[in-house]
Structure 1
Amino acid sequence: MKNHVKTASTKAVQFAEITKNFIRSGNISRAKKCLDMAELLFKNGTTETRSAIASIYVNSVSTFMELRNCTVSKLFPPTLKREYIAQVNAYGV
């Protein structure tokens, strides 16, 4: 039996997909709960977890929302919203 250890990056990708599926299906309350959980992970997680949430989760979910004309600022919790804005400003968009 192989040991299947998932990295923080892999988990962030999966969590982003779950969140996007909730948005896609119109289940905004569940998507909001995912975003709130991501914020807790970002605030209280290890350095690896924080980095994965910032670089993978926030980027993936915000890009998905922008492509579907969803308002990022209305769904993202405050800390994740600040991280999103910092990323947008860093890219010069």
Structure 2
Amino acid sequence: MKNQVLSIYKQAERFAEITKKAIIAGNIARAKKCLAHAEHLYISGSNETKSVISNVYVFSVSSFMELRHCSISNLFPQNLKLEYNRQINSSGV
């Protein structure tokens, strides 16, 4: 695994895992920092970056939080919360 470049999708998956581990550990400050960084990437990134943050990161973290009955509205920054709401409303559930 010498200098292996991870795809943007794998990076988003790993970043989501870091965020989820912070939540499990009760390190809400670190989880909020991760979410804020994801928000920054979502706002300022390319279309591909926005898509990956939405489809991989937000989906993974929000699904995890729902399964654990965590309040998403308290943790998610504004734009990620809007994206989460778009996902929920478009899912047909």
Q: Identify the TM-score tier after normalising by the shorter chain.
A: over 0.9
2:13 match: secondary structure:
helix
Describe how 1:11-50 pairs up with structure 2 within 5 A: 11-50=11-50
Letter in 2 for 1:26: G
Structure 2 stretches lacking a partner, 5+ long: none
Question: What TM-score results when the alignment is normalised by the length of structure 1?
Answer: 0.95
Q: Take 1:73 and 1:28, find their aligned partners in 2: how far apart are those partners?
A: 13
Off by >2 Å, runs of 4+ in structure 1:
none
Query: What RMSD in Å do the two structures reach over aligned CA positions?
Result: 1.2
Q: What is the deviation of 1:3?
A: 5.0
Q: Take 1:35 and 1:67, find their aligned partners in 2: how far apart are those partners?
A: 18
**Matched positions, count:** 93
Letter in 2 for 1:22: A
Could you list the per-position Cα deviations for residues 42-86 of structure 1 after superposition, in whole angstroms to 9, with x for gaps in the alignment? 000112111110000000000000011100111000000000000
1:58 aligns with 2:58: yes
Tell me: CA distance 1:68–1:7, structure 2 relative to 1, closer, same or farther (3 Å).
same
Describe how 1:75-86 pairs up with structure 2 within 5 A: 75-86=75-86
Question: What TM-score results when the alignment is normalised by the length of structure 2?
Answer: 0.95
